[in-house]
Amino acid sequence: MQYLWLAVLVVGVAGAAVVFAFRQLQTLRGLRHQPEMGADELRYLTRRSYARLIGSALLLVLAVLLAGLHFFHILDRLDALVAAGPQARAEGKQLTPEQHDFVNFAYTYVGIIALVVLLLLVGSFFDTLATRRYGMRQRKRIRDDRRAMLEEQLARLRQEREGRNPSASDSANGHGAGSGLT
């Protein structure tokens, strides 16, 4: 039963890696045909796509390593060693050199799997930071553009108001001179 779940996990991880890689390649191809895109946005999207392609490759490596658990019979041999452990301890037996080498190999193999997972997590963290930083820059740019647009509109309104005769329009409204908004 554990091999069924392992197979589902391997196929799922490998499938996700292929789908994510395909999407990033589509993004990179689409960026070539975006001449109106700003340099900052183009650089961000290109770097993000390459970083995510590396993540997809790591996912594929993870799928292969997980499949290796089955093909190298690591899980079966570890289960056999664990099952024989209480009896061997009762008889005072130690691991044979072959068993000791296998345990070292299994620890190294699982350590490599853990390292790949760690690299995926670190890559995801940096992807999130880069997206946040890019979003903050874009938000600041939009805020600055909006402020500049409002200042321009305010200057235009002031010019229109100064272009009219303020004393004539104020007395017509029943207000004295100098009561207009500035």
Contact yes or no for 95/103 (Cβ under 8 A): yes
Query: Residue 182's pLDDT band (boundaries 50, 70, 90)?
Result: very low
The phi and psi torsions of 172 (rounded to 5 degrees) equal: -70, -30
Query: Residue 90's pLDDT band (boundaries 50, 70, 90)?
Result: confident
| Cα–Cα separations (whole angstroms), residue 124 to 23, 28, 56, 119, 168 | 16, 19, 11, 8, 66
Query: Residue 4's pLDDT band (boundaries 50, 70, 90)?
Result: confident
**The overall pTM is greater than 0.85:** no
Contact yes or no for 17/57 (Cβ under 8 A): yes
Phi-psi region at 92: left, alpha or beta (left = phi > 0; alpha = psi -120 to 50): left
Contact yes or no for 127/48 (Cβ under 8 A): yes
Contact yes or no for 144/58 (Cβ under 8 A): no
Work out the mean pLDDT of the chain and round it to a whole number: 87
